[in-house]
Amino acid sequence: MAERLPWHEPLWGQLQSRRAAGRLPHAWLLAGPEGLGKRVFARRLAAALLCEAPESAGDACTRCRACHLFQAGSHPDYRAVQPSEEGKAIKVDQIRELSDFLGFTAQYGRHKIAVLEPADRLNVNAANSLLKTLEEPPGNSLLVLVASQAARLPATVRSRCQKLRFEPPPVGETLPWLKSRIAAGLEAQILLEVAGGAPLAALALADPPRWNRRRHLIDSYDRVLSGTTDPVRAAETWGQGDLAENLRWLVGWHSDLIRLKMSSGSPRLGNPDLRALLRRWADRWSARELFERLDSAVRLSVLCATSQVNAQLSLEVFFGDGAEGVGSGRSSPPVIEG
């Protein structure tokens, strides 16, 4: 059944108050960072509105005919609209088909509900088409747009949706939830901090191969800097596995290096578990060099989306430059583009 996540309860309560007052809008925009369970919330809402006998807190009963259909993924009054392939756009044909679906009478006499996710992946034509539906929503229809980057949606679409803003809950509130779901030996507090407080993102990081991989990359970079491994070898290590994720770590660590460099105190870091090591790394470079290295890391992560081969070469240059150490006077390592 639709999962319930404990940090959603305040938002769920708000929504149920509106429902009780008969003030449900025709369109919601669930906005906020990744890893907070916005899609889970959207499904919980859809299940609750389709259910024939909701519980007192407004949740679906899980036992009625509508709940069984929803669980089986075959409720005729529910649609999930997603890109046909991950990373691709939601296209205009999908929105036209959705408008047709919403226009028909609900087969079970309640709501017709569609969840669009990720809604920030609507292409321009699809967004324009959706706007028409938002301007004249069919009577009992409910659209739920889920977006981690809501600012990418046209203002005309955003303004026609009731916004529900998801924020990372305080780390202390979600520690017990996370602790009960991760392997022994992993530290829930650190995982949550590294995930920016997003509990589902922290849970994803807690996959042991993934978390160990981060450690492996830290060691690899550290060995380059201490001269105990060569840049070509390091670039090979970094080129393995999920390159995009590896480069997100690289960018994140360099952001932390700059925070450490620019602060006289103890700044808040994205990777607080690496503070001592990052402090040592930060001492190798001037602030200007660190900004250049961050810039190179960002360009690398853009490049890797188009060319793994060039990313490999650029990684070698990046690590080679890093290995040269303090005051080498070199400018930003070039990113090889192609």
Which residues of this chain interact with Zn ion, rule CB under 5 A? 51, 60-61, 64, 67
The CB-of-55 to Zn ion minimum distance in angstroms stands at 9
**Minimum distance of Zn ion from residue 238's CB (angstroms):** 50
Identity of the residue, 1 or 258, whose beta carbon is nearer to Zn ion in the bound complex:
1
Residue-by-residue DSSP string for 242-257: -HHHHHHHHHHHHHHH
The 10 Å CB-count burial string (b at 16+, else e) for 182-196 is beeebebebbbbbbb
Residue with smaller CB distance to Zn ion, 24 or 64: 64
* CA 123 to chain centroid: 19
67 vs 113, beta carbon nearer Zn ion: 67
Question: Which CB atom, from 58 or from 118, has the smaller least distance to Zn ion?
Answer: 58
Closest distance between Zn ion and the C-beta of residue 287, in Å? 59
Shortest Cβ 106–Zn ion spacing (Å): 15
Q: What is the SS3 assignment for 289-333?
A: HHHHHHHHHHHHHHHHCCCHHHHHHHHHHHHHHHHHCCCCCCCCC
The least distance separating Zn ion from the CB of residue 126, rounded to whole angstroms, comes to 32
Q: Which is nearer to Zn ion, 67 or 171 (CB)?
A: 67
Query: Two tokens at 81?
Result: 């609209």
Beta bridge partners of 146: 30
Q: Is the separation of the CB atoms in 303 and 247 below 8 Å? A: no
Q: Which helix (H) or strand (E) holds 259?
A: helix 243-262
